[in-house]
Amino acid sequence: MAGKRCLRLGLVLLCLLMLIGFGVYSLMIYGVSAAESLQKEGLAVLDKVLCLDMTGYAVTAEARADAQALYLGVAPQVNVEYALAAEKSCLRVLCTFTDGKLQFLHVLDCEGEPLTDKEAYAGADVAGKAAAFLANYKAYTGEALYGEFSAMLRDVALDGNVTRVSGSRRLDVSAAGGYVTFKWTYVSDGVLAPSKFVAMGF
């Protein structure tokens, strides 16, 4: 009788361990496929939005999901860092994703002239480059909001600081030391919502 009880307990424990092992394996596989999916998403952004000629680069990518790291202190984030190397051009780019959507793109290092496959940025001034980036991002995401941001850049003087308001959006342009920052912030009844913004700098 005691032998049957031990055998049943052993079988139950074995089944439980198998279920736990399968669950851990499934989570690991899901995590790997999610990271690979985000890496592909980032490469698509580099190709379609930044217009980089991805065929000219050797690319390595490293995804880091840190359970402690929260985007804006709220949503779990995954950072994917890309190293793009070509004979005369090297780039390091960081993409931050939350819920599978790009939240942050930062070119960390740029040596040489980036290899581009489109003339979208050629010869444009800084406001033109920002407008081209927004147009590419609008085409990529299908979000009309980025077209509205781009429209606010028309006839912006880049020789000083500028503020424009259009509907529920405020554009602040800061120019100093050869660096220009564009920041769009949501406004409601004249009150800024400082955590609801899109910013870029050149």
Q: Is residue 159 part of a domain?
A: yes
Please check whether residues 111 and 37 belong to one and the same domain: yes
- In this predicted model, what pLDDT tens digit does every residue of 75-132 receive, in sequence order? 788 899 999 999 999 999 999 888 888 888 889 999 998 888 766 666 578 888 899 8
Q: How far apart are CA 65 and CA 108, in angstroms?
A: 19
Residue from 152, 34, 5 nearest 98 by CA: 34
Both tokens assigned to 193: 């919502």
Please check whether residues 112 and 127 belong to one and the same domain: no
Residue from 108, 104, 63 nearest 90 by CA: 108
Please check whether residues 37 and 70 belong to one and the same domain: yes
118, 142, 160 - which closes a domain: 118
Please check whether residues 107 and 152 belong to one and the same domain: no
Please check whether residues 96 and 151 belong to one and the same domain: no
- In this predicted model, what pLDDT tens digit does every residue of 28-53 receive, in sequence order? 334 445 668 888 999 998 998 888 99
pLDDT at 20: 47
Q: Is residue 176 part of a domain?
A: yes
0.85 cut: is pTM over it?
no
Please check whether residues 73 and 130 belong to one and the same domain: no
Domain with 166 in it? 123-202
Residue from 125, 199, 135, 139 nearest 169 by CA: 199
101, 118, 135 - which closes a domain: 118
118, 151, 173 - which closes a domain: 118
Locate all alpha helices (DSSP H) within 49-144, ordered by sequence: 126-141
**Phi and psi (nearest 5°) for 86?**
-135, 175
Please check whether residues 110 and 144 belong to one and the same domain: no
